[in-house]
Structure 1
Amino acid sequence: MKQYTNELTPSVLALFKEPFSAEQLSGADEEQRQIFKSHAEEMKDRSLVAIWRFATAGSLTRNGGKIEKASASDSFTLEDGSEVNRAMVGDYVVYPDGTRARIINGSGSANTNGSGVSFALVGSQLDNGDVIVSTPQDCALLCQPGNSPAMPADFLAPVAL
């Protein structure tokens, strides 16, 4: 399964500058097109400082762990057409020897589910000191544009579970 990191690749940078496809624009109503146009204009002269991809089932850790079951109710469609659920803080990573570790930080208040639980990210830490390093999805991420406010204090900050 192909994996993606938080690297600022040329394709990520291009998408930041032109986030809406011709297909999306043609399918949008006039109000949506104006919102898209306004967003593109706002981003035109801004740089992209960092990204954090959402972790999902199939995400990998530095020490060989894998998220086998992700508990969020939403999912992403991968390039091969399969779907994977988004992982949450509190979900587990499983290692080849059968041990497990819990995800202890994530998006914080920058992005939560309806119950206030944050989503796991590439870069989220585990309670055993490991870290999520890649995800199989390439379509959803959080961005930190230049000249924008810093992420909230609870972003990637450990939480008590």
Structure 2
Amino acid sequence: MSTQYTNELNSAVLAELARSPFTSAQLAEMNDEARVTVAEQEAYNRQHPVNAIYRIAVGGSFTLRGGVVREPNRTGKIQISAGQRSGIALEGGWVDYPDGSAARIVTSAGKTWTIHDRGVALVGSTQANGDVITSTRMNVPITEDFPASREG
């Protein structure tokens, strides 16, 4: 079974998000302008702490009712762990259930994050049968207009 991640914002997640992406050596190699930009961004992040995350759903994500997001075959792939890649689930994609039934994903990140004009599915996205994606194999936070459903 693959490791799954939820949208829980716990101390470990907050510590990971607060960690600088740059080492001391990398900062030392930067020019003054770049170091100022990094310092400004770090100050901004301290003034605007993370208060929610919405992870990207990928093939193999789980739902509340025991469904598994079908591996997308026409979307971009993202690295989910060392050497492993998975397709990004999209609005309109499918969730398969142990009883043989399937349901379409009907909510997504909205227009902010799309692939081929379809919103990227997130942990928290719902299916046409009312089920909800509860965890993902992907450990990445994203956008604020969730959940958005496609109109028209």
Q: Same fold (TM over 0.5)?
A: yes
**1 CA distance for matches of 2:60 and 2:34?**
33
Give the percent of matched residue pairs that are identical in Structure 1 and Structure 2. Answer: 32
* 1:51-86 deviations in Å (ceiling 9; x for gaps): 000000010000000012225632222335211111
**2 CA distance for matches of 1:78 and 1:24?**
27
- The answer (yes or no) to whether the contact 1:121–1:132 under 8 Å persists in 2 is yes
Per-residue deviation, 1:123: 0.2
Per-residue deviation, 1:25: 4.4
Q: 1:82 to 1:22 in 2, by over 3 A?
A: same
Per-residue deviation, 1:7: 0.2
Per-residue deviation, 1:33: 5.6
Q: Which runs of 5+ in 2 are unaligned?
A: none
Match of 1:133, as an amino acid?
T
Per-residue deviation, 1:98: 1.4
Q: 1:86 to 1:33 in 2, by over 3 A?
A: farther
**2 CA distance for matches of 1:11 and 1:132?**
22
Per-residue deviation, 1:117: 1.8
**2 CA distance for matches of 1:116 and 1:38?**
34
Per-residue deviation, 1:87: 0.7
**1 CA distance for matches of 2:10 and 2:127?**
26
User: RMSD value over aligned CA atoms?
Assistant: 2.6
| Counterpart residue number, 1:62 | 64
| Counterpart residue number, 2:126 | 125
Larger Rg: 2
Match of 1:141, as an amino acid?
P
Per-residue deviation, 1:4: 0.2
Q: Of residues 41, 44, 48 in structure 1, which corresponds to 2:43?
A: 41
Q: What are the residue-to-residue correspondences of 1:144-159 with 2, within 5 Å?
A: 151-152=144-145, 155-159=146-150
The alignment partner of 1:41 has SS state of: helix
- The answer (yes or no) to whether the contact 2:110–2:150 under 8 Å persists in 1 is no
| Counterpart residue number, 1:135 | 136
Question: In the comparison of the two structures, how many residue pairs are matched?
Answer: 149
Match of 1:121, as an amino acid?
L
Q: 1:108 to 1:76 in 2, by over 3 A?
A: same
Structure 1 runs, 4 residues or longer, greater than 6 Å off? none
TM-score, normalising length: structure 2: 0.82
**1 CA distance for matches of 2:65 and 2:24?**
40
| Counterpart residue number, 1:9 | 10
Q: Choose 49-58 or 8-17, whichever is displaced more.
A: 8-17
Q: Which runs of 5+ in 1 are unaligned?
A: 144-150
